[in-house]
Structure 1
Amino acid sequence: MSVTAAFDAVAGSYDQARRRLVPRFDDFYGTAVEVAAVPLRAALAAGRTPEVLDLGAGTGLLSLLLTAALPGVRVTLLDGAPRMLAVAADALAARGVPHRTVVADLADPLPADRYDAVVSALAVHHLDDDGKRALYRRAAEALRPGGVFVNAEQVAGPTPALDRRYDEVWVAQATGLGSDDAELAAARERMRHDRPAPVDAQCRWLAEAGLVDVDCFFKAWRFAVFGGTRPPT
């Protein structure tokens, strides 16, 4: 089963498991929202509608959190799984959030627009390392000057031993939050498509893509939030 088919198959129930499978859910997503918020608040203060591109948006969870924190933002959601995007569109429409959806793969060209923030959550790790580097370059080019890219991501440990430890901790934490064997097995099946990379390498790739003030803003074992800013002109 392809990665797109794997996620389309669970489109209706995907978000129900997030708080169990993503330990420290609020810190993880909340950090991503706060990093993205700086240029969005600036656009609102200037009387302009902030534009956000959500890469691998899935059911729109990150966009929903972002637009709840910052009403007035317009979002473009890009994903290769149309059923996931349909769930996202319904949820955003119910909240009156202006949006559009784009069915595309993360390896495809991005929409030919400029954004105040390009965001992603738990999606880029499906690309190999060359694909990540290429996407980071395209994301940097899609930003307005002063715009931010933020990736809330599942990452690899910097050594094989630490990567195994990350997995052990994740299982223990998810189980403690209520995940059962069936849910963990389903997550493992989707994770067969994963190609995570360490945080330090990905931050280096963001800097190579031309972003500045690159940093890891949150990290708890395999879950990290990192990003950078397109230099103002």
Structure 2
Amino acid sequence: MDVTEAFDAVAGSYDEARRRLVPCFDAFYGTAVEVAAPPLRAALAAGRTPEVLDLGAGTGLLSLLLAAAVPGVRLTLVDAAPAMLTVAADHLRSRGVAHRTVRADLAGELPAGRYDAVVSALAIHHLDDAGKRELYRRVPAALAPGGVFVNAEQVAGPTPALDRRYHEVWLGQVAALGSDADEIAAAEGRMAYDRPAPVAAQCRWLAEAGLVDVDCFFKQWRFAVFGGRRG
């Protein structure tokens, strides 16, 4: 089973476990929305439809939150897992949100367009470091002037000892929130496909790619929100 098949297999139940498996769910996703929202609102104020590209969109969780925060956005969701995209499209269609879905992996070219925000949540860590850096090099060209890139991500610790500590803390937190042994084992099975990198390195790669105002806007153990802006 590859990473696409692993996520397609849980598409129907994926969202139900999010608040247990992402212990800082509200702050994590809320910060991503806060960072992405200003250029979307600026587009609305200028009389045009804000365009959002969601990379590794999965079931559309981040896209749905952005659409709720900034009504009137138009979303392009990219994911390699067709069952996940089907769930996302059903959610967005039921809420009347303008969208399109593109089945593709993150190693390919980005969908054509100029986007006010390029966002991602818990997806880019499936690329190796070279793949991450190559994706980050492509992001600025996809952004409209002043547009933002926001990555709500699972990151590695800066040292092996801290990385082990991140995992220990996560295990304790998800158990306290009600994840049972089967749910934790299934999550760890999907995590076998992960290739996380430290947040400091990823911020450096974004700056090297040409983004400005690069920062880590939120971090709680292995969960971080970071990004930058096209000048």
Q: CA deviation at 1:140?
A: 1.6
Q: Deviations over 1:114-145 (max 9, x none)?
A: 10000000000000000000111111210001
State how far apart, in whole Å, the 1-side matches of 2:29 and 2:134 are: 24
Q: Name the count of aligned residue pairs.
A: 231
State how far apart, in whole Å, the 2-side matches of 1:95 and 1:154 are: 28
State how far apart, in whole Å, the 2-side matches of 1:103 and 1:161 are: 37
SS state of the match for residue 194, structure 1? coil
For 2:135, the aligned partner's letter is: L
Show the 5 A alignment for 1:158-177: 158-177=158-177
For 1:97, the aligned partner's letter is: V
Q: CA deviation at 1:213?
A: 0.1
Q: CA deviation at 1:35?
A: 0.2
Divergent runs of 4+, >6 A: none
Q: CA deviation at 1:209?
A: 0.6
- Please report the TM-score for the alignment, with normalisation by the length of structure 2: 1.00
SS state of the match for residue 110, structure 1? coil
Q: CA deviation at 1:24?
A: 1.2
Q: What is residue 20 of structure 1 aligned with on the other side?
A: 20
Q: Deviations over 1:164-212 (max 9, x none)?
A: 0000000000001110100000001100100000000000000011000
SS state of the match for residue 86, structure 1? helix
SS state of the match for residue 106, structure 1? coil
State how far apart, in whole Å, the 2-side matches of 1:25 and 1:63 are: 15
Q: What is residue 143 of structure 2 aligned with on the other side?
A: 143
Q: What is residue 192 of structure 2 aligned with on the other side?
A: 192
SS state of the match for residue 84, structure 1? helix
For 2:68, the aligned partner's letter is: A
State how far apart, in whole Å, the 2-side matches of 1:80 and 1:171 are: 28
What runs of 5+ residues in structure 1 fail to find an aligned partner? none
State how far apart, in whole Å, the 1-side matches of 2:123 and 2:111 are: 17
State how far apart, in whole Å, the 1-side matches of 2:32 and 2:103 are: 23
State how far apart, in whole Å, the 2-side matches of 1:172 and 1:198 are: 21
- Please report the TM-score for the alignment, with normalisation by the length of structure 1: 0.99
| Pairwise CA RMSD | 0.4
Q: In the alignment, is residue 180 of structure 1 matched against residue 180 of structure 2?
A: yes
